[in-house]
Each structure stands twice: as structure tokens, then as C-alpha cells.
Amino acid sequence: MSGSMAFLLWIKGPMFNIALAIFAIGLFARFAEIFLLGRKPNYAEPRAGEWLPGFKTMFTRSIADPGTFQRASFNVVVGWVWHLGFLIALLLFVPHVELMKGLFGIVWPALPNPVVDLITAITLIALVATLVHRLTHPVKQRISTFDDYLVWTVVFLVVLTGYLAYHRLVNPYPIALGMHILMAEIFLIILPFTKLTHIFTAFIARWYNGAAFGRKGVAS
């Protein structure tokens, strides 16, 4: 049986398992790669502990300092907008909440669809803005790699296909939904092997950063 429904069922069935497996294997391989390297012992007399400053920085680094905000306001604002938008759409859209419930058995409240819809539209615009910025800002131009454009494309398509599916702008619907889930699966598959790992490792990096500064008595 071929056709849109078969496509959707394959995407929701075997392909989802494959994606989840690659995601989990890749991500935990990366965790092992990081943590097993360890750190050399530090003999210098500390000014303060590492744990607390480390944990603090895991959160505080999400907020830019006033100077950076001033110098890179576009980066900071647009970055915030699309990260928040993406997270809200991912975690607070009813079908996604149901997905988590189905997968992990945990439920949390969702946002009304029109709210998520608006946020998704804003996220899409913000994502386009980040691409334009990447293509035009001299620093971003210089440091961008294939990886950056690949990740942008996948992230954008995940949101875009979700938006199209929600608005039923692609027919038949199983194709629309299937494309969205497929993009999400590609997102999961490339996550451990691209800069998308920062979703998880940024918190590890921030901890190390906060711990190193904290040890020297600087709140980072």
C-alpha cells in the first residue's frame, strides 16, 4: 500500500524509531565523549566553590549583559524570540504535549492553538531574520560553515512544515503531517552531530564556565 497514509505511518512508525535511536545513541556518545575526558586536578587555592557558581551560570548566561545587549541587540533579541518561540511551539502545542504523554507518560498544560499559531509565525519571521543576519553580518559570514546553513534549513523546515500542517496548507494532510514529523526526525538525527548539540551541551559548557570563574571569585 503506497500513498500519503503509508508515508505517514512509516514516518510515525519505523522512521521515528530510527530517528530516536540515532538521536539517543549520538547524544549519549557525545556526553560520554565529553565527560570521560575529565579535568585535571586543580591545585590552586580556590576563592569559592565550583558547584553553585556553575549552576548559577547555567541559567544566568541566558541573559546578555547590558553592554553586549547594546552591541549585539539584534542577535540577542532575535535569538531570544526564535528560541522561545521554538520552545513554546515544541513544548506547549497540544499535539506535542500528547506526543510527550504518549512517549514518556508525563503531561503538562498546553497553550491554546491560536497562541501557538501566532508564536510560530513570529518564530518563522525571526528565523528568516537570523538567516539574513548570517548572510550579511561580516563576522557571521566569516565564521559560518555548511553546518550552520544545514542546521538553519532543518530548523526552519521543522517550524515551517508544522505551520503548514496546522493550517492544512498542504494536501492531503497525511503528507503535511508526515513531512513535519520527518523534518523533526531529521532534526533529531543531525542533532548529536551538529551544533544542535548545544541544546544540551551549552548547559555543560556554562557549568564549566561558571565553575572556572566562580572558583576565582567572579560571578560569570
Partner 1 sequence: MSELTLERGLAAFRAEIDAPIAAFFSSCVHCGICAQSCPFYLETGDPKYTPILKLEPLRLVWEGEFTLWGRIKRTLGLQQKVTDEMLAEWEELLYDSCSMCGRCSLVCPVGNDLAYMIRKSREGMVQAGHAPEGLIAASVRAIQTGSPMGLQWKTLAVQIKHVEDSTSLTVPVDKTGVDYLVLLSSMEIINFPEYLEAITKIFDHAGVTWTLSTQCFEATNAGIQIGNKDIAAQLVERVVAAAEKLKVPNVISPECGHAYTAIRWEGPNLIGRPYPFRVFHIIEVLDTLRASGRLQTEGMESDRLSLHDPCNLARKSGVIQQQRNLMALVADNFVDLKEHGKFQWCCGAGGGVSSNERAEPLKLAAFKRKKAQIEEVAPERMVTMCATCRTQLEEGMEEFNMNIPVVGLTEMIADHLVEKEARS
Partner 2 sequence: MIDRKTPNKTLGESLRDHGLSRRGFLKFCAATASMMALPPGMVPVIAAALEQARRPSVIWLSFQECTGCTESLTRSHAPALEDLILNLISLDYHHTLQAAAGDAAEDARLQAMEANTGQYLVIVDGSIPGPDSNPGFSTVAGRSNYEILMETVEHAAAVIAVGTCAAFGGLPQASPNPTGAMSVMDLVKDKPVINVSGCPPIPMVITGVLAHYLTFGRLPELDAYHRPLAFYGQSIHDRCYRRPFYDKGKFAETFDDEGAKLGWCLYRLGCKGPSTYNACATMRWNGGVSWPIESGHPCLGCSEPSFWDAGSFYQPLSVPLTATSGDLLTAAVGGAVVGAGVATLANKQIKTAVANRQPVTVEELEEKL
Site residues for partner 2 per CB under 8 A = 1, 3-6, 8-9, 12-14, 16-17, 20-33, 35-37, 94-96, 98-99, 101-105, 110-116, 168, 172-174, 177, 192
Residues 59-98 contacting partner 1, CB under 8 A: 61-62, 64-65, 67-68, 71-72, 75-76, 79
The Cα angle at residue 126 between residues 167 and 78, in degrees rounded to 5: 150
- What is the rounded distance in angstroms from the CA atom of residue 93 to the CA atom of residue 168? 16
| Cβ atoms 111, 88 nearer than 8 A | yes
Q: Cell 543531525, residue? A: 190
* Binding track, positions 26-55, relative to partner 1; x by CB under 8 A: x--xx--xxxxxxxxxxxxx-x--------
- With CB cut-offs between 5 and 8 Å by kind, which of partner 1, partner 2, none does residue 73 bind? none
Cα dihedral 127, 157, 14, 91 in deg (nearest 10): 40
User: Closest distance between partner 1 and the C-beta of residue 29, in Å?
Assistant: 5
Q: Distance (Å, rounded) from C-alpha 208 to C-alpha 188?
A: 25
Nearest to partner 2 of 9, 124 (CB atom):
9
Is residue 57 within 8 Å of 76, Cβ to Cβ? no
Residue 193: name its binding partner from partner 1, partner 2, none (Cβ under 5 to 8 Å by kind).
Answer: partner 1
User: H-type helices in 36-172, by residue range?
Assistant: 51-60, 66-71, 73-92, 94-104, 113-136, 138-143, 146-166
Q: Does 4 bind partner 1 (CB under 8 A)?
A: no
> Would you tell me which residues interact with partner 1 (CB under 8 A)?
26, 29-30, 33-45, 47, 57-58, 61-62, 64-65, 67-68, 71-72, 75-76, 79, 137-145, 148, 192-193, 195, 197-198, 201-210, 212-213, 216-220
